[in-house]
Amino acid sequence: MSKRFFLCGIMQESNSFNPTPATDADFAYTRREGEAVLRGEVGGAAQGMVDTLLSRGYDVTAGVVMKAKSGGPVAHEVVDEFLKRNLALLRGNTWDGVVVSLHGAMLTDVSEDACGDILTAIREAVGETAVVTASCDLHANVTERMLCAADHICGYQTYPHLDFYEVGCRAATLAARAVEGESLVTVRAAVPMMAPAHAYTTNTPALKAVMDRGHALVSGGDIADFSVFQVQPWLNVAKLASTVLVTAATEEQAAAVASELVNAAFALREVLQGEPLMTIEEVIQTARANTTGKPVVLVDSADSPNAGATGDTATVIEALLPYRDELYAAASVDDVPAVEKAFALGVGGKGDFTLGATVAPKLSTPVTVPDCTVVSLHSGEFRMQGPASRGEWRDMGKTAVLAAGKLRIVVNSHSCYQGDVQFYRGFGVEPMLQDLIAVKACTSLRAGYEPISAAICNAATPGAAGVVLKALPFDRLPKPFYPFEEITESDITPPRRHR
Ligand SMILES: [Zn+2]
C-alpha cells in the first residue's frame, strides 16, 4: 500500500517591535485547503512539498496552507484555528509522514515559540512513529522544542531568498527517505548571536564559503542536508539563537559537520554586522553629487514591511524637504488619515499634509509637508516585476501620490512589500527619472534596483526593523547575546539530536 502523507503550512515572520497584531484577515488571501493545495494553488515551500510527494506516488492529504506578510505577532486564535482544522484531519488516521511549511520566526500574542507549539501539537496527534519534517526561512529561530517534535527541519540556503520552492522539496525528500526506512538523524547546534539583515547576503564571500562547504558535503554524500540559520534580529524573546542543523546517516557524522559549520558561523559574527550606515543627509549629498543619470537608492530598511516594520515613518521625507525644489526624489509612507485627506481633496487638490507615525507612534515622529498637490489616486494594486515574485499582485489599499516641489510621496493605506521597482512605477512614479529614490525594503530590493541605480545606500533610519540593533528596546534576550555582549566559543551549544 502506498505511504500516507499529510501536509499543512502557516508562515509569518513576526517583529516584536510592531504593535499591530496579524489577524485572520492577513492570512485570508492565501488560505487554501485540501484539493486546492494539491492542485498547485499554494506556491513556495508547500508547492515543493506537494510536487515532491505526488511525484513519488504517495497518498497525500492536504490540510490548511496559509501565509501572511511580516508584521506584529499573530493573534493566537489564528494559530488555534489553524491547528484545530489540521488536527481534526490528522486524528483518527494513521500517517507515515507529515510535512509542514513554517517560517520559524512566528510569534503569537501569547507564545514566543509558535512554531514549536504547532510541531508539538502535530506530534501529539500523529504519535511517535510518523516522520515529521518542516521547512523554514533562513531567519528562523529553530528552538530545541521544534526539534523535539520534528524529526528533520530544512531552511532556505539563500539570502536574498530564492529557494522557497526548493526548501519544500528538501523537507519532503527527507521525510520520504526516512519513511522508506533510511536512517537519518538531524542534530542542532546554536550560537547566541544575531546580525542586522541588511549587512550580509549568502553571497557575502565568508558566508558563501560556509554554504559552499555544506553543499559540497551534500553532493559528496557525506550528509543528507544542512541549514545555517541567521536568526532574524527583531525577535525580543527569551529563547533565541542562530542555529545550524545537519542531517546525516548517524549522529556522529551529522555532529562532526554541524560543529564545523557552527564554529564557522561563530567566527563570522563580526563580519556579518556590516559596515556602519550612512546618515540620511549623507545619502542626499551623494545624490546631489551624482552625475551618472541614474538614481541613488536610499535604503530605509528599518521601516521595511518585509521585515515586519510598520511602513509609517516619514523621517526620510522630512530630510528631503529642504531639497524639494532641487532634487527629483520619491519616498513613501503608510498613513490612512493622509490618504483619506487626499481622496477628499481629489486630484489637483492642494493642502498641507502631516505624515507618519500613525501606526507605531513610539518609533518615529510625524512630519508636516506644506503645500502638497494631490497628483493621482489609486486603488493600491500593483504587479511585481520580480525576479522572486514575478507576476504576483500586491495591494496596499487606497493610495495617493502627493507632489511637494520635485518630491513625490506615495501615501498608502497599509504597508506591503516595497522592494520591487513596480512599487513606484505602478503608481506613475518612474524610478529611473529620480535623483533619489527611498525604498522601505532590505536586501531583496537589490535584484530590481541594482541594474538601474547609481548607488544603493543603506541609511540609518528609525523603525521596528532598525539595523542599529543596540538602539532597539530588547529586554528578553538570553545573556550573553552578540552583539549586545561579547561571546566566546564556550557559549556555543554543541550539536546534538533531540529525537
Ligand atoms: Zn528571511
CA 255 to centroid of ligand 1, rounded, Å: 25
Asked whether residue 340 falls in the same domain as residue 209, the answer is: no
CA distance 462 to 440: 11
Check if the beta carbon of residue 488 is closer than 8 Å to that of residue 306: no
Report yes or no on 489 lying in a domain: no
pTM of this structure: 0.86
CA distance 60 to 214: 31
CA 315 to centroid of ligand 1, rounded, Å: 25
Check if the beta carbon of residue 368 is closer than 8 Å to that of residue 353: yes
Report yes or no on 494 lying in a domain: no
Residues 6+ apart with CB under 8 A from 37: 7, 46, 50, 62, 63, 65
- What pLDDT shows up at residue 248? 98
CA 206 to centroid of ligand 1, rounded, Å: 19
CA 234 to centroid of ligand 1, rounded, Å: 12
Report yes or no on 478 lying in a domain: no
CA 388 to centroid of ligand 1, rounded, Å: 13
CA 279 to centroid of ligand 1, rounded, Å: 25
CA 213 to centroid of ligand 1, rounded, Å: 21
CA distance 43 to 167: 12
Asked whether residue 173 falls in the same domain as residue 293, the answer is: no
Q: Grid coordinates in use for 234?
A: 527583531
Residues 6+ apart with CB under 8 A from 114: 14, 74, 79, 106, 107, 108
Asked whether residue 232 falls in the same domain as residue 357, the answer is: no
Q: Grid coordinates in use for 423?
A: 512599487
CA 180 to centroid of ligand 1, rounded, Å: 31
Last residue of a domain, one of 272, 294, 315: 272
Last residue of a domain, one of 248, 272, 296: 272
CA distance 9 to 22: 16
Asked whether residue 386 falls in the same domain as residue 251, the answer is: no
CA 137 to centroid of ligand 1, rounded, Å: 5
- Three-class DSSP labels, 279-335: CHHHHHHHHHHCCCCCCEEEECHHHCHHHCCCCCCCHHHHHHHHHCCCCCEEEEEEC
Check if the beta carbon of residue 401 is closer than 8 Å to that of residue 252: no
Asked whether residue 191 falls in the same domain as residue 290, the answer is: no
Q: Grid coordinates in use for 284?
A: 542626499
Last residue of a domain, one of 231, 252, 272: 272
Asked whether residue 311 falls in the same domain as residue 336, the answer is: yes
CA 333 to centroid of ligand 1, rounded, Å: 23
CA 54 to centroid of ligand 1, rounded, Å: 27
Check if the beta carbon of residue 309 is closer than 8 Å to that of residue 14: no
Closest CA to 102 of 140, 128, 145: 140
CA 83 to centroid of ligand 1, rounded, Å: 24
- What pLDDT shows up at residue 160? 85
Report yes or no on 484 lying in a domain: no
Distant-in-sequence contacts of 423-430, Cβ < 8 A, 24+ apart: 423/332, 423/382, 423/394, 424/330, 424/332, 425/382, 425/385, 426/381, 426/382, 426/383, 427/376, 427/378, 427/382, 427/399, 427/401, 428/375, 428/376, 428/401, 429/330, 429/401
Q: Please give the C-alpha separations between residue 89 and each of 30, 121, 172, 365, in angstroms, as whole numbers.
A: 20, 13, 19, 48
Check if the beta carbon of residue 366 is closer than 8 Å to that of residue 354: yes
CA 467 to centroid of ligand 1, rounded, Å: 15
CA 8 to centroid of ligand 1, rounded, Å: 20
Report yes or no on 236 lying in a domain: yes
- What pLDDT shows up at residue 411? 98
Asked whether residue 241 falls in the same domain as residue 285, the answer is: no
Cβ burial of 290 (10 Å; 0-12, 13-18, 19+) is middle
Q: Grid coordinates in use for 43?
A: 506556491
Report yes or no on 495 lying in a domain: no
Closest CA to 7 of 40, 71, 116, 161: 40
CA 269 to centroid of ligand 1, rounded, Å: 18
Asked whether residue 264 falls in the same domain as residue 289, the answer is: no
CA 463 to centroid of ligand 1, rounded, Å: 18
CA distance 249 to 352: 67
CA 397 to centroid of ligand 1, rounded, Å: 25
CA 239 to centroid of ligand 1, rounded, Å: 18
Report yes or no on 18 lying in a domain: yes
Range(s) of the domain holding residue 321: 280-466
Closest CA to 315 of 298, 328, 327, 297: 298
What is the number of other CB atoms lying within 10 angstroms of the CB of residue 115? 29
Asked whether residue 342 falls in the same domain as residue 205, the answer is: no
CA 138 to centroid of ligand 1, rounded, Å: 5
At residue 136, the 3 state secondary structure works out as: strand
- What pLDDT shows up at residue 199? 82
CA 409 to centroid of ligand 1, rounded, Å: 28
CA 173 to centroid of ligand 1, rounded, Å: 22
CA 139 to centroid of ligand 1, rounded, Å: 5
Q: pLDDT tens digits, the chain, 499 residues: what are they?
A: 799 999 999 999 999 999 999 999 999 989 999 999 999 889 999 999 999 999 999 999 999 999 999 999 999 999 999 999 999 999 989 999 999 999 999 999 999 999 999 999 999 999 999 999 999 999 999 999 999 999 999 999 999 889 999 999 999 999 999 999 999 999 999 999 999 887 889 998 999 999 999 999 999 999 999 999 999 999 999 999 999 999 999 999 999 999 999 999 999 999 999 888 899 999 999 999 999 999 999 999 999 998 889 999 999 999 999 999 999 999 999 999 999 999 999 999 999 999 999 998 888 999 999 999 999 999 999 999 887 778 888 889 999 999 999 999 999 998 888 899 999 999 999 999 999 999 999 878 988 999 999 999 999 998 999 888 888 889 999 999 999 999 999 999 999 999 9
Report yes or no on 148 lying in a domain: yes
- What pLDDT shows up at residue 40? 87
CA 99 to centroid of ligand 1, rounded, Å: 20
Asked whether residue 238 falls in the same domain as residue 335, the answer is: no
Asked whether residue 292 falls in the same domain as residue 327, the answer is: yes
CA 371 to centroid of ligand 1, rounded, Å: 40
Q: Grid coordinates in use for 193?
A: 548571536
Asked whether residue 291 falls in the same domain as residue 268, the answer is: no
CA distance 232 to 192: 12
CA 160 to centroid of ligand 1, rounded, Å: 8
CA 13 to centroid of ligand 1, rounded, Å: 8
Side-chain half-sphere CA neighbours of 88 within 13 A: 10
CA 45 to centroid of ligand 1, rounded, Å: 13
CA distance 243 to 261: 10
- What pLDDT shows up at residue 209? 97
CA 156 to centroid of ligand 1, rounded, Å: 8
CA 144 to centroid of ligand 1, rounded, Å: 20
The one-character DSSP state at 71 is B
Q: How many domains does the chain have?
A: 2
